[in-house]
Amino acid sequence: MDDSPGLVLGLALMGLIGGIVLFARGLVAYRRDRLISAVATSSLDGLAAGEVRVSGLVQAVDQQLTSPLQSRPCVWYRARIESTDDSRRVLLDEERAVHFRVIDGRGSIRVAPAGARWEVGTDFDESTSLTGAEPPGLEQRRGASYDMVLPDDPVDMTDAQRQAAIDALLTVDRPASPEASDGTGGFSLLGGILETSRGRRYREARLEVGETVTIIGQALPWADVRQQLEAVGNGGNVERAIADDIADARAAGELAATPEEAWGNAAIPGFGIGQPTRPPELDPDAQPPRVAGPTPLEAAMDRYEIPADELVLARAPDGALVIYRGTPQAATRQHDRAFLLGLVGAVMAVCCTLALGAVLTGSL
C-alpha cells in the first residue's frame, strides 16, 4: 500500500501551520519596525514630555542587580533553569528589573521599567554535559540579588553604606525547599538546583551597565508615574490579599501598633551598624553607641528622593515601553530579519496549501 499521499498530507499540514506562525510573527515585526522608525531619536539635554525615542548607555542609579546564573551586574535579567529529563521541571523562572538611567553625553533620563517589553537576546544558553558536568560560564549567584550603588564622593559613600546596612538588617530571607517550587521563582537557587544530578538547561538574558540601549516610551513627570505605579499595585490580587490579612490581624489584636513595638531597637535607623538616629533602649550595663542623629538619615533619604516634576521614561497607561539592546539601527535590523522570515513563512504556507489541495483532489 502506497503511503505517499498520507505522508505528503502530514508534511503539508505541518508546513502550513509553521508558515502561518512565521507569517504572523513577521507581521508583528513589521508593525514594531514601523513603530521604532516613526519616532526620531531625541537628545536627552532637551527632552520634552510625550512619546520619545532615546538611545544611549545604561547607567545604574540607586541600586543594581546581580544575575543569578552568571553573577553579572545588571539592571534587568530574566533567568530560567529547567530539567532536561522527561519531566521538564522548571527549577527557576525569575525576572527582575530596577530603575536605571540612559546617558547620551548631553544629558540623562531615569527609566522606570515597570511593564516594559524587553527586546534583549539571550546571553547565556547552555546545558549540563552527558556526565552531568556544569557548562562553562556558569557562575551561580551566591549573595543577594540587589546591590546598592555607591556614589563616587567619599563623603556620601558613608551615608550610602549606612543605608545599605540598614536595609540589609531589616531584610529577612526565608529559604525555600526545591519541593515547594511552583516554577514562578519561589525557589532556593543553591538548595534546589544543586540537589539534583539530572541534566539541566540554563538560560539568562540581561541588560548590563554600560551597554547601549534604544528605548521607546513616554517621558512623564515622576509624580504621574508614581501615581500610576501605586494604582497598579493597589489593584492587584496579591496586594488586596495582603491588605485583608493585615486588617484581620489588626482586628484580632495580633498586629503591633508600631514598628518599634514589633522590632524594638531594630526599628531605629542605623542601629544595626552602631549609628542609631536616636538613643536605643539598652541594658544598663551595655555600652551605649554614639547617636548619629537624624542628619545622616535625612541626607541619605534626600539622595534617593525623585523630584515630582522630574521627567522619567516610563510606560503610559495606554502606551508601551520597549527597551532594545543596541542602537536604533540594530533594533530595526532585528525586526527586518523577522519580517523577511515572515515572508518566507507566507511562501511556505502557500506552497503547502497547494500541496494539500493536490492531495485532497487526488491529483497527486
The residues pairing with 30 across neighbouring beta strands, listed in sequence order, are: none
122 and 46, same domain (yes or no): yes
Whether 306 is covered by a domain: the verdict is yes
In a domain, residue 155? The reply is yes
pLDDT tens by residue, 299-324? 666 666 888 888 999 988 877 898 99
Assess whether 141 and 16 both reside in one domain. Answer: no
Q: Which pLDDT score is estimated for 72? A: 93
Q: Looking at residue 364, what is its pLDDT?
A: 56
Mean pLDDT computed over 273-284: 81
Of the two residues 28 and 33, the one the predictor is more confident about is 28
Q: Which residue has the higher pLDDT, 335 or 121?
A: 121
Phi, psi of 269 (to 5 degrees): -55, 130
In-domain check, residue 331: no
Mean pLDDT across the chain: 75
Residues 200 and 274 occupy one common structural domain: yes
Distance CA 364, CA 362 (A): 5
Query: Based on the domain organization, do 20 and 84 belong to the same domain?
Result: no
Please report, in angstroms and rounded to a whole number, the separation of the first and last CA atoms in the chain.
15
CA–CA gap between residue 294 and residue 164 (Å, rounded): 16
The length of the chain is: 364
Residues 77-102: what's their mean pLDDT? 90
Q: Is 144 part of a structural domain of the chain?
A: yes
Residues 28 and 82 in one domain: no
Instruction: Give the pLDDT score at 63.
Output: 84
Answer yes or no: do 254 and 360 share one domain: no
Q: In this structure, are 50 and 22 located in the same domain?
A: no
Name the domain count of the chain.
2
Q: In terms of domains, do 87 and 177 share one? A: yes
**102 and 160 inside one domain:** yes
Give residue 168's pLDDT: 47
pLDDT, one tens digit per residue, over 311-357 is: 999 988 877 898 999 888 777 666 566 666 677 777 777 787 777 77
299 Cα distance to chain centroid: 29
Does residue 124 carry a pLDDT above 90? yes
**194 is a domain residue:** yes
**pLDDT of 57 higher than 60:** yes
Which residue in this structure is represented by grid cell 499540514? 13
Distance (Å, whole) CA 73 – CA 120: 16
Mean pLDDT of 92-119: 91
Q: Is residue 321 one of the residues assigned to a domain?
A: yes
Q: What angle do CA 320, 98, 330 make, to 5 degrees?
A: 55
pLDDT band for position 99 (cuts 50, 70, 90):
very high
Confidence of residue 266 (pLDDT cuts 50, 70, 90): confident
10 or 81: which leads in pLDDT:
81
pLDDT value of position 154: 37
Kind plus residue range of the DSSP H or E element containing 105: none
Torsion from C-alpha of 44, 50, 55, 61, nearest 10 degrees: 70
In terms of phi and psi (left: phi > 0; alpha: psi -120 to 50; beta: otherwise), the region of 253 is left
More confident of the two residues 293 and 291: 291
Q: For the ranges 63-67, 153-157, 220-224, which has the lowest average pLDDT?
A: 153-157
Res. 35: pLDDT tops 80: no
Q: CB within 8 A of 325, min separation 6: which ones?
A: 119, 120, 121, 207, 211, 212, 213
Structural domain of residue 282, as residue ranges?
Answer: 39-326
Helix count (H) and strand count (E) of the chain? 8, 13
CB-based contact 108:102 (threshold 8 Å)? yes
- In the DSSP assignment, the letter for residue 46 is S
Range name among 140-149, 175-184, 302-311, 350-359 with the lowest pLDDT average: 175-184
C-alpha–C-alpha distance, residues 225 and 309, integer Å? 10
Do both 165 and 228 map to the same domain? yes
The CB density around residue 202, as the number of other CB atoms within 10 Å, is 24
Instruction: Please state the φ and ψ torsions of residue 303, each to the nearest 5 degrees.
Output: -65, -35
**What pLDDT is stored for residue 207 in this prediction?**
95
> Has residue 332 been placed in a domain?
no
Rounded Cα gap, residues 30 and 7, in angstroms: 34
Question: Same domain for 95 and 164?
Answer: yes
Given a cut of 90, whether residue 191 has pLDDT beyond it is no
**Dist CA 13 CA 11 (whole Å):** 5
**pLDDT of 128 above 80:** yes
The answer on 138 and 273 residing in a single domain is yes
